[in-house]
Amino acid sequence: MPEATAQTQATETTGSPDDPARPGGVDPLPGGPDGLVCSARGCRAPARHDLQWNNPKIHAPDRRKHWLACALHRDSLSAFLSARGFLRSVADLPEQ
């Protein structure tokens, strides 16, 4: 059915339903009163790396979410995102 196909394509190009107030772009860094700390569960070490990721199923293509990682967790967190195809880039953070 050609009409159904066209309808599906139009729906897919209308953008992300997630968080309409922020359709794209890089999210602000999730800093708190302790500064930038590692995003790994239970880790409170100062973050040294900013893992920027995007889930194409729920985010606009140019949306970037952050995971912060200390030196110890950089590899495990980036591997987690890479395995799902979410990792876009890794930036080093300045020393705090």
For 88, half-sphere exposure in the C-beta direction (CA atoms, 13 angstrom radius) is 16
Does 93 sit near Zn ion (CB under 5 A)?
A: no
* Residue span binding Zn ion (CB under 5 A) among the ranges 6-14, 17-25, 55-63, 64-72: 64-72
CA gap 51, 91 in Å, rounded: 7
Query: In this chain, which of 37, 38, 68, 81 binds Zn ion, going by CB under 5 A?
Result: 38
Q: Interface with Zn ion includes 51 (CB under 5 A)?
A: no
Binding to Zn ion by residue 74, rule CB under 5 A?
Answer: no
Answer for which of 37, 40, 51, 68 binds Zn ion (CB under 5 A) is 40
Report how far residue 69's alpha carbon sits from residue 66's, in angstroms, rounded to the nearest whole number: 10
Tokens of residue 17, six digits: 């339903």
